[in-house]
Structure 1
C-alpha cells in the first residue's frame, strides 16, 4: 500500500507538500522525502514527534541515537511508517534544523494501492513557497512560576564577577598560569 501524507509548514502563509511513499518505508525515508520536497539541503538534524489528535507533542524519534547506552534509543530508521501511522493514528510532528526550528504537521491523508510504474517516494502536490526564515517560536513562561523574578531584586553585580575586577587568582590557591 502507498501512504499519502500532507506535510504542512507551521507558517503564516499556507505552505505544504503532498508526498506518496510506500507503507513499508521508514521514518528516515519520510524525513528524506520531506527534506527533498521542501528543498532543504539535508545537512541539519531533525526529529519526529508522536502526537495526539490535537497535535500535542509526545515522544521524540530522533535521527541519531544520542542515548547514554549505544543502541538503546530507537531512531527514525528503526520505525516503519506502518508501525506508527494507520487509519486511527494519522498525525506526527516533524522538526527540521533545531536552530531554525522548521516545524511541520504531517498527516496521513490516504492509504491507496500503488500505481504501476510509479517510483516512490514521490512529490505529488506542492503549494506555497518556503519562506526565507522559519517562523519564530514564542516560548512563554507562566509569570506566576517565573523562577528568576523572585530573585531579580537580590542580584548583586559584584557577586557576578567571581575573580574581581583585577582578575587576581591569588585568593584561590593557584597561579594564573597554573598549567
Structure 2
C-alpha cells in the first residue's frame, strides 16, 4: 500500500493525501488524483518523471503515442515499479488546455493491505475555479550573433542608412 501526497501548484495550499494499492497502474492513479480534486478524469493528462528538485523529465502519457506500439503509457506503468521507494516523485499535468499541475510524492510504502482502496485520508484547501496561469520562461541563451551593437560593418549602421536615396 502506498501513501501518496498530491499538491496542486497554486499560491494557496491545496493538498490531498491518498492511500492506493501498490499494484495500481498510473492510469488508475491519474483517475484517483483527478477525482480527489473534483475533476471527472476525462481530460488528457501526463505524468513526468522528476528528480528530487522537481525538474521535469521523461513523459508518461495517458496513451501510447509511439508508432510501433513500443512506447510508454500510464497503463503500462505499475506504481511499485515506477515509484519503488519513499520520496519518489512525479509531476502530474491534467487538462492540457488549463494545465493543472500537481506534485506527486510517495510519503510511505507499506506491506499492509486494505480492502477499500483508493482512499483519500487528508484534504487541505479547495481547488480554485480556474487553473493558475503558467509562465514559461526560458533561460537566456547565447545566440552566437554577438551584441546588438555588432550590426555595423564597412557600410555603416543599418539605422543610419537612408533607404529613400534610391
Question: 1:143 offset after TM fit, Å?
Answer: 4.8
Q: Which 4+ runs in 1 deviate beyond 6 A?
A: none
Please give the secondary structure, in 1, of the residue aligned with 2:90. strand
- Structure 2 unaligned runs (5+)? 149-157, 159-166
Tell me the number of residue pairs that the alignment of Structure 1 and Structure 2 aligns: 145
The 3 A distance-change label for structure 1 pair 21 and 88 is closer
The whole-number CA distance in structure 2 between the counterparts of 1:25 and 1:95 is 19
Question: 1:127 offset after TM fit, Å?
Answer: 0.6
Give the aligned partner of residue 83 of structure 2: 85
Give the aligned partner of residue 119 of structure 1: 116
Please give the secondary structure, in 2, of the residue aligned with 1:48. strand
- Asked whether 1:19 is paired with 2:22, we answer no
- Structure 1 unaligned runs (5+)? 155-179
CA RMSD of aligned residues (A): 2.0
The 3 A distance-change label for structure 1 pair 84 and 44 is same
8 Å CA contact 2:92–2:101 kept in 1: the answer is: yes
Please give the secondary structure, in 2, of the residue aligned with 1:100. coil
2:135 to 121, 138, 155: 138
Per-residue CA deviations over 1:74-129 (Å, capped at 9, x if unaligned) read: 210101001111226611110000111000000001112124xx411111111100
The whole-number CA distance in structure 2 between the counterparts of 1:119 and 1:88 is 22
Please give the secondary structure, in 1, of the residue aligned with 2:96. coil
Residues 101-116 of structure 1: matches in 2 within 5 Å? 101-112=99-110, 113-115=112-114
TM-score, normalisation: structure 2: 0.80
TM-score, normalisation: structure 1: 0.75
Give the aligned partner of residue 172 of structure 1: none
Give the aligned partner of residue 73 of structure 2: 75
8 Å CA contact 2:86–2:107 kept in 1: the answer is: no
Please give the secondary structure, in 1, of the residue aligned with 2:57. strand
The 3 A distance-change label for structure 1 pair 12 and 89 is closer
